[in-house]
Structure 1
């Protein structure tokens, strides 16, 4: 059995929430987790759409982490 340890250079995470503060909290949590992997935020893209099923706004974010 061979074990290979490769360094993660880029990582993209998608997050969503029905509350903007909840989305911010989730992003902060993922930043903390990825700091342990020596990854930093390279870019954040966000969007808001209306969810007709729940009759609420749905906030989403795509966070790109990289080694830099």
Structure 2
């Protein structure tokens, strides 16, 4: 049986929240989790839209993680 370890080089994650503080906390938590995988933030994109069903703003973000370069 072959045992092989591959490093994750790229990872894209999506986040959504009803307020900016919650969105920031979710992203910060995932940044800490991805440090164990030796990933760091490469790029962040964020958006805010008005949700007419709830009458509130909806915030989202896409975070691209890349392997740390030594």
Give your verdict on TM over 0.5.
yes
Could you state the TM-score of these two structures normalised by the residue count of structure 2?
Answer: 0.89
User: Within 5 A, what are the aligned runs for 1:23-62?
Assistant: 23-62=23-62
Partner deviation per Cα, 1:3-35 (whole Å, 9 max, x = no partner): 432110000000010010000000100100000
Correspondence 1:15 to 2:15: yes
- Structure 2: distance between partners of 1:50 and 1:62: 18
Correspondence 1:65 to 2:65: yes
CA root-mean-square deviation: 1.2
Could you state the TM-score of these two structures normalised by the residue count of structure 1?
Answer: 0.92
After TM superposition, the runs of 4+ consecutive aligned structure 1 residues lying more than 3 A away are 1-4
Q: Which runs of 5+ in 1 are unaligned?
A: none
Partner deviation per Cα, 1:26-60 (whole Å, 9 max, x = no partner): 01001000001000000000000011111110000
